Amino acid sequence: IFKKYFFKKNYTLIMNTEIFKVRHDTFIPALSEYLRTNKTVVPIKNFDIIKTSRGKETSPLDINWYYTRAASIIRKLLISKAKNEKPLSIVRFSSEYGCAKDRGNRPNKHVRASKGIIIKILNDLQEKGWVEKKENGWTLKKEAEEVSKQLIEKLIN
């Protein structure tokens, strides 16, 4: 019964894709460094003082947070393509990157992340030919998959 409900038919095919062979805490910094050195993504002006969500009190402390967010978006698109899911929308990205807003005495409430940052990152990646906009959301192109495969091979070896 467990296998019937919790395992898909192509579970082994999904887990054998390259993105699942590397941990996220090694892949995302490597990809963000690649994006920063090749100037694939250009940060928004005043990105050092912008909050990432209305639930945050301050801007991120990491100087390269913008490139890390772009690398994380690419990783999420890779995973959705490996699982043959539908394209990811901006609303889904903003809810995944959201946080809990501290409301004082009242209970905390989940709020979405800033959509403007996500839109700017996706537009930059679209100009470089890494992502493609469809009517339902965004998907990854072959060029981004090839770059990520090369990075994964470097990280594995």
Domains of the chain: 2-156 (1.10.10.10)
Dump pLDDT digits (tens) for 2-12: 555 555 555 55
Tokens representing residue 18 in the block: 């390259």
**Torsion angle of the four alpha carbons 36, 21, 92, 71, in this order, in degrees rounded to the nearest 10:** 0
pLDDT in tens, 95-129: 999 999 999 999 999 999 999 999 999 999 999 99
Q: What value does the mean pLDDT take over residues 132-140?
A: 93
Instruction: Please tell me the pTM assigned to this model.
Output: 0.87
